[in-house]
């Protein structure tokens, strides 16, 4: 029987990120109780239920919405299911943690946010990088005025290897799939809205990516309402590992987060010194951030506060993604106000 | 009922390290099944049993030794109980993982190792730092010949703050309480035996430490059988955090492990640049190492192999500690052969 | 009497850079003989002549052109005099080392380059940063294929403090005064031509800069003929010192040059660790590069080879500067082919 | 004719260090005038005289002592000539800058210091590393109390390659030839006297060094009067370059000087990141320090102040060297008071 002092949670989706949430909810977050998991992959779901002592397993997410022990759902299923599940969950009065992106269709996002708002449930979007201790420290340095008035933001974000071409095809393109994290990071670090986007891009990593209409290398310029200028660069393949650095430059100084490395060892020989690489895998890099975001979600339910990443925060990077795409196609800066 | 394919484990002791082992055994190590825990602090033990779903709780370690489901015990109780428990466990045919130090009395250690050997059980000593990924990488660089023939070893090991004076009194002194880790690290990194020790030391951190007959600052010189020279420096208080670095210098290069830092952020202002500190707490620094050593212990039982840290490895640093103490008192280098 | 085996040199201009060239020619470059210096500031010129044992001082550059002992002139006078002096020097058959920019007027540059070419004299432009050992090492890593095919170039270039407003007024604007170095660096590092420029900019450092029609903060996107994408960011004021970093990312890795620091000292305390800043002054940062470029100039005369920075190299960044200005004004990407 | 406002200087010795002093005196130090140089290698001396415009060349140092234009001599000849020249120079009323070591014989040093004191001339010893900006910054952090009360000093000093065996034979051994710099550095950084020395050492680099009675690898422990403990490690061969680092640990923090590197470039690839090595050659590493020490010498003459490195500073490391040698031979800590 559920502990009444805990938040009852159901997890929908048992992919890589779903599994991580299941682990964290069942083992580490004391204020949550994992009541049920839902997956179309019933075999994996059964294994997880066994491994993590989860009472209930289902392949129909409505079972979770009907369960009165469940206060909140974690939506970690494939992107095309988010809208339907989120809307149903809101109508069932469940609080919602939804993986990014909410959807690729702006009208669907708008509709979902309207339903969520009307239902009055908490709605948090899974921009996990905001919870990374390094980026958080950078945000604090900006918010506290430690670097004075911010002038320039630089974000580098490069994946260790491109996803399978089948995934690229349905991903919505690099801006909605990959840069979306950087768009969110830009808004988070500066604490202001972007008004204009300019993107250049090309295919350098793999011609197949070009053949399906996408690019794999891009530089994006952002202008913020408050005058800050930003540059983001992305690549689908950095052979030295997952490369995600940010730097904010302001009137009183600069704050920058570098890559963590897999060890602290230096070898010095006749050819110079060698140090380790950043991790190759996003789970390794952001494990603690995934835990923190979920803890924050449980906490905002308990304390009745606003989630730290709102529906509006989930929507804005999608708008920026469409602006970037339009900019790339028309080779001109695009105002966000031009989108929808 | 216990899963027959898993190693049944009982944990004795529920202090900081005992708790860590309990967490790891109950949540992360799939090949182990935590059957029971034992503690004189029954309240804490009950809380852990609840939190980690442990079937059995007792305040008498013999209950664990009598339990046929239990294949191995983790001895994480106070140092003065190690010998009795280890000897009884060996006689009960249980494999043993014993926290360091085995004991402060060499004769008792010898007796315990004899009993363990006679019983034919696995016996691993908890020198967790050997399992730290950074130090492990250094050892590999030495063992593989990457730095050629080793010439000089430097170890720095400084605690963030001295322990309570009541602890200092019964700790056996800095050499047996703190340097013991560095003595083990020295043997581990070089893969050879030390033959002579010279120690200088003084009281710089807190006069109270001197009043109870101990020192808080020391530099120790080691000579290895294979000719390598080593220097260790220790302090009971480093205001910038837990400082543990090693460096091995050889004919083809140098390999060094620095401190991990709590974040990767740099702030640059008119006064220069600032970066983070190492962690303050040993659990934060060595969490992954504590997990690895336990995994290795479970694995050596399953595979019937030699534990990676043997009884002899547990004994040698104690001998070095007594040699260092004698060296300090007599202000001369002391051969290890002079001890016992 | 001049040593016939040496290149006879005259220096025109005795400002900060002129003085540096005088020092290097008189003291360090064995294959050059400094015959005469020319300056409208005759007092300073006399002091230098005394200090560095220079036989001849004049306030009329034609005196140098008439001197048969002089094989080459260093043009380090104010920018508005470069064209006249370079053209006269070429017609007098003197080899020319001309400080950047050749001129702010493209037609004048074209005319000058025509005259120089007709005269058949060597003509090197003073883009000193190409001779910095760090940037040179980056260029080598790109040229040698060490990083594979280059994909993305990032350049950060921030001055420690803005120049006097009187200087800003006649500087030609940030793109022709400051970014010009980065435009050259971009071409140098990638070894290819830029085809399109997009610039955003604003006034963040000092409103006075805006009042005279200039900006002090900018981000510029470049597209190269070979497909490489580049981003440059500039600020007129970095409180932590002269900040000039480059990074080239490619299919096999990344090569980056960081800032040199004024010392190698780290202080670690309870607030973390502190390290030094980069130098504040461009002469301190680039002293060795100024020497190298002059040595290369003397050498190309002696060996009859092509100067390492040609007239075309001097012209291209000016074209890029005008493209950036047009881009900023019209808020659109501008093709270099649109300029002239 | 000599400029009467300048200090007239004569340099004795035209080896690597003599040449450096000649360069600095003739080109960079405005308050000095290089009047004459003296060398048994007359050919080299003539070349330098030509190259640096030095009026007088001689092979007899007495010629310099007889020259009334010469106020000060730089003694950079071979060690076995220092005593005779310094004594004669003092008696001739010349100020003296003497390269280290003053001599290898303590009685001769004592006698020389007596004569110098009686003559009332300035006497500075060439411990150039004290003038290195990095080590100077460390000293300031100790002297100012920035690190609180100092507890532990660590010095690493490793040469890139051993000297020729013929040099080793007459060098006085590693302690007097190489560690002498570290002994001086230890006294300089802590600002206190050493009372006891313990040394271990062996032959690891080259058996030939052992055959001539010397060692090439050593660790030395020092105890200071004020209670600070220090450890020095030396090797004659570090394949990654000239390795000279210091670290002072105290009650309020730690200050450390790392090695400068030959460039600021990082290459990141699938094998991790690579950075440059420290310089291989002591002149490259300490050029600026050699200049500073000479400027300080000229300044102390002009201002009538005490030289920054006194005769006593020149003597103390020799005493420490003999104590280390005695310690090594007798395998016990040796008090400095045991020497002489």
B-D C-beta contacts closer than 8 Å: 99
Rounded to a whole number of angstroms, the distance from the CA of B205 to the nearest CA of chain D is: 7
Instruction: Copy the structure tokens of residue D7.
Output: 């200090």
Distance, CA of B247 to CA of B156 (rounded, Å):
9
DSSP code string of A36-68:
EEE-S-HHHHHHHHHHHT-SEEES-HHHHHT-T
Instruction: Copy the structure tokens of residue C265.
Output: 């000292």
Rounded to a whole number of angstroms, the distance from the CA of D101 to the nearest CA of chain A is: 31
The angle that helices A180-190 and A133-143 make with each other, rounded to 10 degrees, is 40
Cβ contact B240–D254 (<8 Å): yes
Count the alpha carbons within 13 Å of A83 in the hemisphere toward its beta carbon. 13
Q: Which of B318, B316, B313, B322 is nearest to B126 (CA)?
A: B313
**D277: nearest CA partner in chain A:** A272
Name the band, by pLDDT with cuts 50, 70 and 90, for residue C30: confident
What's the burial of C120, exposed, middle or buried (CB within 10 Å: 0-12/13-18/19+)?
exposed
pLDDT at residue C284, rounded to an integer: 86
**C142: nearest CA partner in chain D:** D267
Residue D265 has its nearest CB partner, among C134, C267, C269, at C134
Res D33 pLDDT > 70: yes
pLDDT tens digits along A86-96: 999 999 999 99
Cβ contact A200–C217 (<8 Å): no
Distance, CA of D60 to CA of D30 (rounded, Å):
27
Whether residue A101 is preceded by a cis peptide bond, meaning omega within 30 degrees of 0, is yes
Distance, CA of A258 to CA of A279 (rounded, Å):
12
Residues of chain A with Cβ-Cβ distance to C229 below 8 Å are 200-202, 217-219, 233
pLDDT tens digits along B267-317: 999 999 999 999 988 888 999 999 999 999 999 999 999 999 999 999 999
Distance, CA of D220 to CA of D232 (rounded, Å):
5
Dihedral sign, CA of C84, C85, C89, C95?
Answer: negative
pLDDT at residue A34, rounded to an integer: 96
Dihedral sign, CA of D111, D112, D118, D119?
Answer: positive
Cβ contact C146–D258 (<8 Å): no
Percent of chain D topping pLDDT 90: 94
Rounded to a whole number of angstroms, the distance from the CA of D13 to the nearest CA of chain B is: 35
Q: Which of 33-92 (C) contact A at CB < 8 A?
A: none
Say if D140 is an interface residue toward chain B (CB within 8 Å).
no
Cβ contact C253–D267 (<8 Å): yes
Say if D330 is an interface residue toward chain A (CB within 8 Å).
no
Cβ contact A240–D275 (<8 Å): no
Diameter of chain D measured on Cα atoms: 67
Rounded to a whole number of angstroms, the distance from the CA of B76 to the nearest CA of chain A is: 23
Distance, CA of D202 to CA of C93 (rounded, Å):
67
Say if D251 is an interface residue toward chain C (CB within 8 Å).
no
Res D1 pLDDT > 90: no
Cβ contact C221–A200 (<8 Å): yes
**A137: nearest CA partner in chain B:** B265
Cβ contact A198–C230 (<8 Å): no
Residue C260 has its nearest CB partner, among D134, D264, D269, at D264
Cβ contact C254–A237 (<8 Å): no
Residues of chain A with Cβ-Cβ distance to B141 below 8 Å are 265, 267
DSSP code string of A100-111:
SPS-S-HHHHHH
pLDDT tens digits along C32-84: 999 999 999 999 999 999 988 899 999 999 999 999 999 999 999 999 999 99
pLDDT at residue B107, rounded to an integer: 96
Res B1 pLDDT > 70: no
Say if C272 is an interface residue toward chain D (CB within 8 Å).
no
Angle at the Cα of B211 (from B208 to B215), degrees rounded to 5? 80
Mean local confidence (pLDDT), B77-103: 97
Q: Which of A137, A159, A130, A333 is nearest to A248 (CA)?
A: A137
**D263: nearest CA partner in chain A:** A272
Contacts of B207 (CB under 8 A, 6+ apart): none
Res D122 pLDDT > 80: yes
Cβ contact D276–A272 (<8 Å): yes
Dihedral sign, CA of C169, C172, C177, C182?
Answer: positive
Rounded to a whole number of angstroms, the distance from the CA of A283 to the nearest CA of chain D is: 19
Q: Which of C262, C263, C232 is nearest to C245 (CA)?
A: C232
pLDDT tens digits along B117-151: 999 999 999 999 999 999 999 999 999 999 999 99
What's the burial of A287, exposed, middle or buried (CB within 10 Å: 0-12/13-18/19+)?
middle
Q: Which of C151, C182, C194, C190 is nearest to C334 (CA)?
A: C194
Say if C225 is an interface residue toward chain B (CB within 8 Å).
no
Res A340 pLDDT > 80: no
Say if C270 is an interface residue toward chain B (CB within 8 Å).
yes
Cβ contact C265–D27 (<8 Å): no
What's the burial of A339, exposed, middle or buried (CB within 10 Å: 0-12/13-18/19+)?
middle
Distance, CA of C279 to CA of C296 (rounded, Å):
25
Distance, CA of A173 to CA of A170 (rounded, Å):
8
Distance, CA of C95 to CA of C73 (rounded, Å):
6
Whether residue D300 is preceded by a cis peptide bond, meaning omega within 30 degrees of 0, is no
Residues of chain D with Cβ-Cβ distance to A276 below 8 Å are 272-273
pLDDT tens digits along C88-144: 999 999 999 999 999 999 999 999 999 999 999 999 999 999 999 999 999 999 999
Name the band, by pLDDT with cuts 50, 70 and 90, for residue A212: very high
Residues of chain C with Cβ-Cβ distance to D262 below 8 Å are 133
Q: Which long-range contacts (CB under 8 A, 24 or more apart) does A275-281 make?
A: A275/D272, A275/D273, A275/D275, A276/D272, A276/D273, A277/A240, A277/A241, A277/D268, A277/D270, A277/D271, A277/D272, A277/D273, A278/A240, A278/A241, A278/A242, A278/A243, A278/A244, A279/A241, A279/A242, A280/A160, A280/A241, A280/A242, A281/A160, A281/A242
Res B188 pLDDT > 70: yes
pLDDT at residue B22, rounded to an integer: 97
Percent of chain B topping pLDDT 70: 100
What is chain A's mean pLDDT, rounded? Answer: 96
Q: Which of B188, B192, B182, B193 is nearest to B137 (CA)?
A: B188
pLDDT at residue C173, rounded to an integer: 96
pLDDT tens digits along B207-239: 999 999 999 999 999 999 999 999 999 999 999
Dihedral sign, CA of B101, B104, B106, B111?
Answer: negative
pLDDT at residue A1, rounded to an integer: 66
Distance, CA of D61 to CA of D270 (rounded, Å):
61
Percent of chain C topping pLDDT 90: 94
Mean local confidence (pLDDT), A254-279: 96
Cβ contact C204–A151 (<8 Å): yes
ipTM of the complex: 0.95
Distance, CA of A283 to CA of A182 (rounded, Å):
17
What's the burial of C213, exposed, middle or buried (CB within 10 Å: 0-12/13-18/19+)?
exposed
Contacts of A150 (CB under 8 A, 6+ apart): A142, A190, A226, A228, A248, A249, A250
Cβ contact D134–C263 (<8 Å): yes
pLDDT at residue D2, rounded to an integer: 79
Q: Which of B320, B306, B338, B340 is nearest to B122 (CA)?
A: B306
Say if B268 is an interface residue toward chain C (CB within 8 Å).
yes
What is chain B's mean pLDDT, rounded? Answer: 96
Res C1 pLDDT > 80: no
pLDDT tens digits along A44-71: 999 999 988 899 999 999 999 999 999 9
Rounded to a whole number of angstroms, the distance from the CA of D29 to the nearest CA of chain B is: 30
């Amino acid at each position: 029987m559920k502990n009444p002092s805990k938040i009852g949670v159901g997890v929908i989706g048992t992919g890589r990120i779903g599994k991580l949430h299941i682990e964290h909810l069942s083992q580490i977050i004391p204020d949550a109780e994992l009541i049920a998991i839902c997956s179309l992959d019933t075999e994996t779901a059964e294994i997880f239920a066994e491994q993590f002592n989860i009472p209930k397993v289902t392949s129909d997410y409505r079972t979770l919405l009907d369960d009165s022990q469940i206060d909140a759902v974690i939506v970690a299923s494939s992107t095309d299911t988010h809208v339907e599940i989120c809307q149903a969950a809101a109508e069932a009065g469940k609080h919602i943690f939804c993986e990014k992106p909410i959807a690729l269709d702006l009208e669907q996002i708008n509709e979902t946010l309207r339903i969520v708002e009307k239902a009055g449930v908490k709605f948090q979007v899974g921009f996990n990088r905001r919870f990374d201790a390094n980026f958080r420290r950078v945000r604090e340095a900006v918010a506290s005025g430690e670097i004075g008035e911010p002038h320039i933001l630089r974000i580098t974000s490069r994946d260790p290897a491109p996803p399978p071409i089948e995934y690229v095809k349905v991903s919505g393109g690099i801006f909605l799939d990959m840069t979306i994290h950087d768009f969110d990071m830009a808004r988070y670090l500066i604490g202001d809205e972007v008004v204009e986007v300019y993107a250049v891009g090309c295919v350098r990593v793999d011609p197949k990516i070009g053949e399906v209409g996408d690019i794999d290398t891009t530089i994006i310029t952002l202008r913020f309402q408050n005058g800050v200028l930003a540059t983001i660069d992305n690549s689908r393949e950095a052979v030295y590992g997952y490369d995600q650095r940010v730097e904010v430059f302001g009137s009183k100084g600069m704050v920058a987060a570098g890559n963590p490395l897999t060890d602290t060892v230096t070898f010095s020989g006749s050819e110079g010194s060698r140090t380790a690489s950043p991790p190759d895998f996003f789970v390794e890099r952001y494990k603690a951030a995934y835990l923190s975001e979920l803890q924050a979600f449980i906490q905002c339910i308990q304390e009745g506060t606003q989630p730290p990443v709102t529906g509006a925060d989930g929507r804005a990077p999608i708008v920026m993604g469409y602006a970037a795409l339009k900019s790339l196609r028309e080779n001109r800066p695009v105002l966000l106000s031009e989108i929808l």
